[in-house]
Structure 1
């Protein structure tokens, strides 16, 4: 998702049925694209998602990164879940694809928090033995 959003923000917006075209003679010209400031924010957000995803992927191959990758993942998905919940409460129910992503993010947040909780004792025991 991070690569998709950061490299093709107009397509990302189009996939969510967001149009920034102007109505001319009763039809919409969608070639104008999104405002530059919005594209800038979307590319930055997508880039952050891409880098976080790459770090978490690297942790699968470098075990010393695993603890921080689980923590980052849990924080990332918990934050998305909390703020999408807030958005649903304040803005209303989004389209089905966003709700599906929300459910996946909730599961990822729960999994990350569960991993942190289950491994907390292991890290505390390991740290106090050294």
Structure 2
């Protein structure tokens, strides 16, 4: 996310801060561009865990997809599990960005979606959730 500072009338303090939403993909592009360049080598190889807890109909997953790299993992829980229903447009968009998709078993069962998800998605329990958080040093809740 980029920020733009606008100067106020007095002193050096900014009058306002604007969040520029059109650059949501900057992080993933920046990671790809700097990978393996001298001093920065290895810095951008950090894998991220994204957790999606809201329904894709209540959140804009296109911004998430702009951030995800092929090495990142995405875990769907709570109402977010509806995003991994097989053959849905949302699920197909997810597959185009990441193959590392996980879903929490208890949340699937609570919503009666056990038979409606794709075989590509890995179903995990709470121990698997803990394993994912240990694996990733960075976490982004969506």
Do both share a fold (TM > 0.5)? Answer: no
Q: TM-score, normalised by structure 1?
A: 0.32
Greater Rg by CA: 1
Indicate the structure with greater helix content: 1
Q: TM-score, normalised by structure 2?
A: 0.30
Indicate the structure with greater strand content: 2
